[in-house]
Structure 1
Amino acid sequence: MSSGNTKPQSAPVVENPTTVADMRRNGVTVGDPIVEDVEGIEAMYRRRDDAHKARDWEMLRDTIDFPVWMVTDSADVQAVTWYGDESKLLEVQHNIMRLVPRSPVHHERRYVFLTSNLALNMESNTVMVGNEQVAFKAAHLVIRRDDGKWRVKSVMEGGWGNVAKMFGTDFRVPPSTP
């Protein structure tokens, strides 16, 4: 007689797998063919670039998978991190963008696909500040969600730790558990 509390049966686990088929039976998909959706990622980055140019935070919001993991550094600490929810990140982003020039940023992006749904964007950037050209590098972890859209999950860019603290975000605070 069944109590009604039955768990779905899962495939038996193959301990110490010796074949790819054993790994597949365990649910591991490492080694699956990778479909590199460069066009999809570039469409997302065009939306991000347009949002930054227009200072349109609603448009920017659609390109981020919240909560987002921020990684930067500051003058007094080697590296700092922050796990940001939607409202706090957009508040900090809005304040920081007031401090940077409206000059267009030139991006040279290189994508490394880990799977068909996980990729890294390694970029070299330049921007004119007055008569000076400033070069900087950044990296993003981008993920494709169930809706098929790519979004930024993590942003890594040096030099913003002190600036963010000015607006009440101390990147050195340990992240809360999501």
Structure 2
Amino acid sequence: MLDLLPDLCDHYEQDVRWLPLTSHDYGGRRLFYGEVVTLRCFEDNSLVREIVSEDGRGKVLFIDGHGSCRFALLGDQLALLAQKNHWEGVIVNGAVRDVATLATIDIGIKALGPCPFKTEKRQTGDRNVTLTVAHTLVYPGDMLYADRNGILLSKAKLDLSPFKAEK
């Protein structure tokens, strides 16, 4: 299935929240979903490495970089580490780099845009906090569903069996 989100909206309209974030697909996987792990950080991706080093089975990392595209919060090395540790995907409210390589990695990646500059490492950020992105609350533990149509959030895991969704 290529278009999961329209079906989810039709079937679970009262249970999903649309995230009106204008993002672009950068990873090799266009359809992905999982439980949200949140990270709020500004132009410092130190904690991203720490998080994607953990087991990410069934999880999506949501990084709120406050919309800054001055420095990339995710690049090929962190994406490969996330893939190795079985993360379903990464959402970046900010920039990514190494975009040609990201497209070859089997993980979902959405971000605002590219930037070739890496971040400084100051060990700053807040993990597992509620985020406000595009006037929408994103809670740790939410379920996130993403495809080329965008991003949906729900409080509980949705039954995808009627849609024969494949990752």
TM-score by length of 2: 0.27
Which structure's relative contact order is higher, taking Cα pairs within 8 Å and 6+ residues apart? 2
Q: Which has the higher helix share?
A: 1
Give the TM-score, by structure 1 length. Answer: 0.26
